[in-house]
Amino acid sequence: MTGGTAPDDVDALRAVLAERLARRGLLTAQGGWPAAGTADRGGDEEGGRTAPPLPLLVPIGPGEDVDRARADLVRRITRVPPRTDLVLRTSGSTTGTGRLIAVSAAALVASARATHDRLGGPGTWLLPLPAHHVAGLQILIRSLMAATAPVIVDTSTGFSPAALAEALRSAAPTAGSAATRLYISLVPTQLVRVLREPAASRVLTAADAVLLGGAAVDPALLARARRAGIRVVTTYGMSETGGGCVYDGRPLDGVELSIQNPDAEGAGRILISGPVLAEGYLQPADRAPDDAGGSFLKSAGKRVLATSDRGRLRSDGRLEVLGRLDDVIITGGVKVEPRTVEEALTGLDTVAEACAVGLPDTQWGSVVVAAVVLEPAAGQETPGNRGGPDGAALR
C-alpha cells in the first residue's frame, strides 16, 4: 500500500505502478506501451473468486494508518476478480459507506492511451491532485506511458494557485525536449481559485489542455476560463471508468455510451462500456458476486456500467450530464434538475456559486430553494442590491 500527495509519496507510488505495468507487459523498459497484442493481463479466470498472482495495490491517503487500512481490507474482502491489480476506494457519497473497486492495470493503460490520442499525443503532466484518487493516479499512469516525469505540485498543505503557476513555469517544454506538450488536470474549485489570481491564470494558458472534472462544471466558469485563453477540456467519468472517459461530451476511443429507459426528452440513466471499465466491486463472501447486484451489468454479451447519473445524448452525439438520478426534485408533478437552477443562478454576474435543493412542502410536495455565494464585489451593499443580487433576477 502506498500513496499520498507529497512528492516523496508520489515518487514511491509511481515506482510501484511502473513495476506492476512492466510485469503485466504493459510498459517497456524505456517507458511507453509495448506493441499491440503483447500485453498479458494474467490471472485466474475461474469464477472470478481467486486472487490474482500479483499482490493487490491499494493507494492510501496522506496520514492514513497503513496497518488499519490493511486490516479493514482483509476484513471486507474475500472475493477478488481475477485480473485485479489495484483497489480504489470511493468516497461513499451515494451509499454512505464507500465501495472498493477492483481495477486492472490494462484498464488504466487503455484510458491513458485513449486520453493521449484525444489530446494530440503524449506530453508532460502536472499533478496538483491527490495521487490516491483515480484522477491523480491516472496522471502517474499517463506519465509512465509517455516516458515523462510528472511535475508534482505539493498539495499536502492545501492547493495554492501560486504553487501551481511556479510548477507550470518549471514544466514548460524547452527547445529540443522530447515532450512538447503540457497537460494538467484540475477540479472546478481549483480553477475558480486560479482565475482569481491573474498571474496564475496567465501561466495556465501555457498548457495545451486543462482537463476539468471531478464535479459538475458551471458553464459560467467554463466561459470565464476560455475567455482568459485557458484551453479547458471538460471530462466525465468516475473511479469505475478509470477516471474521465468522456471529453467535451464525446466518449474516448473504445468507450460506448447509451441511455437506459429514456423519457420523452431522451433523458435517463447513463450507461458506459469499453476497455476502461473496472473489473467490478470487491465484496465479502456472504454477498452475491460483484456483477450480479451492483452497477456492473451484462448487455448483448458485453459488460456495462450502469451509473447513478442522469443524462441524454444530443443530436450531435455529445453526452449532456443532467445530474445524479437521486437529485431530481419533483415539485407539483414537474421534474426540476438542480443543476439547471444552479447554472441559471451562476449565470448572474453577482453569483459565484449556487446549490439548489428540494425542501418538503405540503402543497407542492417539494419546493426548490437555493443557497448562493456572492462574488466578492457583490457583497458591497448598494441601493440596488442591499448586499446581494437583484431579487427580480433571482425570480
Q: What is the CATH number of the domain that holds 155?
A: 3.40.50.12780
Is 237:248 a contact under the CB 8 Å cutoff?
Answer: no
Q: Considering the domain boundaries, does residue 89 fall inside one?
A: yes
Instruction: State yes or no: pLDDT of 338 exceeds 60.
Output: yes
Residues 6+ apart with CB under 8 A from 281: 99, 100, 101, 102, 290, 294, 295, 296
DSSP 8-class letter at 206: T
Task: Specify whether 237 is located in the same domain as 116.
Answer: yes
| d(C-alpha 339, C-alpha 316), whole Å | 22
| d(C-alpha 309, C-alpha 215), whole Å | 12
Instruction: State yes or no: pLDDT of 128 exceeds 90.
Output: yes
- Which amino acid type is present at position 267? A
Task: Specify whether 62 is located in the same domain as 206.
Answer: yes
Domain of 218 in residue numbering reads as 7-24+56-251
Please give the biggest Cα pair distance in the chain: 73
* pTM (predicted TM-score): 0.79
Q: Considering the domain boundaries, does residue 138 fall inside one?
A: yes
| d(C-alpha 192, C-alpha 372), whole Å | 15
For residue 171, what are the CA distances in angstroms to 1, 5, 117, 129? 29, 18, 21, 16
| d(C-alpha 209, C-alpha 193), whole Å | 18
pLDDT of residue 204: 96
**Residue closest to 346 by CA, chosen among 212, 229, 192:** 192
Give the residue ranges of DSSP H helices in the chain.
7-23, 66-76, 105-119, 134-146, 161-171, 188-195, 198-204, 219-227, 290-293, 338-346, 391-394
| d(C-alpha 335, C-alpha 338), whole Å | 10
Q: Which of 211, 232, 251 is at the close of a domain?
A: 251
Task: Specify whether 238 is located in the same domain as 362.
Answer: no
Please report, rounded to a whole number, the percentage of residues in the chain having pLDDT higher than 70.
Answer: 79
Task: Specify whether 355 is located in the same domain as 217.
Answer: no
- The phi, psi pair for 17, rounded to 5°, reads -65, -40
Task: Specify whether 241 is located in the same domain as 347.
Answer: no
pLDDT digits (tens, 9 = 90+) for 256-272: 999 999 999 999 999 99
Q: Which of 234, 251, 268 is at the close of a domain?
A: 251
Task: Specify whether 92 is located in the same domain as 235.
Answer: yes
Instruction: State yes or no: pLDDT of 96 exceeds 70.
Output: no
Task: Specify whether 131 is located in the same domain as 243.
Answer: yes
Is 106:39 a contact under the CB 8 Å cutoff?
Answer: yes
Query: Where do we find the cell 506519465?
Result: 143
Q: Considering the domain boundaries, does residue 179 fall inside one?
A: yes
The whole-number average pLDDT for the span 4-23 is: 78
Looking at the 3D structure of the chain, how many domains does it have? Answer: 2
Is 1:9 a contact under the CB 8 Å cutoff?
Answer: no
The whole-number average pLDDT for the span 341-347 is: 89
**Residue closest to 90 by CA, chosen among 284, 240, 234:** 240
pLDDT of residue 97: 53
pLDDT band at 368 (very low <50, low <70, confident <90, very high): very high
- Which amino acid type is present at position 101? I
Task: Specify whether 241 is located in the same domain as 340.
Answer: no
pLDDT of residue 174: 52
Is 100:77 a contact under the CB 8 Å cutoff?
Answer: yes
Task: Specify whether 222 is located in the same domain as 358.
Answer: no
Burial of 356 (0-12, 13-18, 19+ CB in 10 A): buried
Instruction: State yes or no: pLDDT of 214 exceeds 50.
Output: yes
Q: Considering the domain boundaries, does residue 274 fall inside one?
A: no
| d(C-alpha 37, C-alpha 365), whole Å | 57
Q: Considering the domain boundaries, does residue 318 fall inside one?
A: no
Q: Considering the domain boundaries, does residue 349 fall inside one?
A: yes
pLDDT of residue 343: 86
Task: Specify whether 241 is located in the same domain as 111.
Answer: yes
The whole-number average pLDDT for the span 292-302 is: 71
Q: Considering the domain boundaries, does residue 186 fall inside one?
A: yes
Task: Specify whether 122 is located in the same domain as 224.
Answer: yes
Task: Specify whether 83 is located in the same domain as 176.
Answer: yes
Average pLDDT of the chain is 82
Q: Which of 251, 271, 300 is at the close of a domain?
A: 251
Q: CATH number, domain at 370?
A: 3.30.300.30
| d(C-alpha 67, C-alpha 71), whole Å | 6
pLDDT of residue 179: 61
Q: Considering the domain boundaries, does residue 20 fall inside one?
A: yes
- The phi, psi pair for 79, rounded to 5°, reads -130, 125
